[in-house]
Amino acid sequence: MGHDAFSSASPLREAMSLLTAVVVFLVGFVSGVVVRTVAGLAAIVALLLVIFGVAAPEIGLIDYIVTQYYQGNELLFLAGLLFGLDAKQTRRVVVDRGTSSK
């Protein structure tokens, strides 16, 4: 039988996958906090960029990061983004539930 890299994952490879997942989630979370903070300005800038047809310059490092870590982890990034967007409300709900159960 041939050697299959996916069926015989080493503990180091699994740890790196967990680390990658945590980093992607944290990047999404930070993105959500930043978007929540400057959402109005970001929306105006994005609209102007679309209207004028301006696109971000192609940067090799960004392409590498997107293809290496983001693709396939979109839902994880989105989860972090949504938690970041609603972090204050989530914190309030958790604190309220903690104090009401005592």
pLDDT digits (tens, 9 = 90+) for 28-48: 888 888 877 777 777 778 777
Q: Are 32 and 83 in contact (CB under 8 A)?
A: yes
Q: Are 72 and 65 in contact (CB under 8 A)?
A: no
Q: Which of 17, 1, 10, 28 is nearest to 68 (CA)?
A: 17
pLDDT digits (tens, 9 = 90+) for 60-89: 777 787 788 777 777 777 777 777 777 777
CA neighbours within 13 Å on the CB side: how many for 9? Answer: 10
- The pTM of the whole model exceeds 0.75: no
User: Would you give the end-to-end CA distance of the chain in angstroms?
Assistant: 59
Predicted confidence (pLDDT) at residue 21 exceeds the cutoff of 80: yes
The structural domains of the chain, with segments of one domain joined by +, span 12-100
Distance CA 90, CA 29 (A): 13
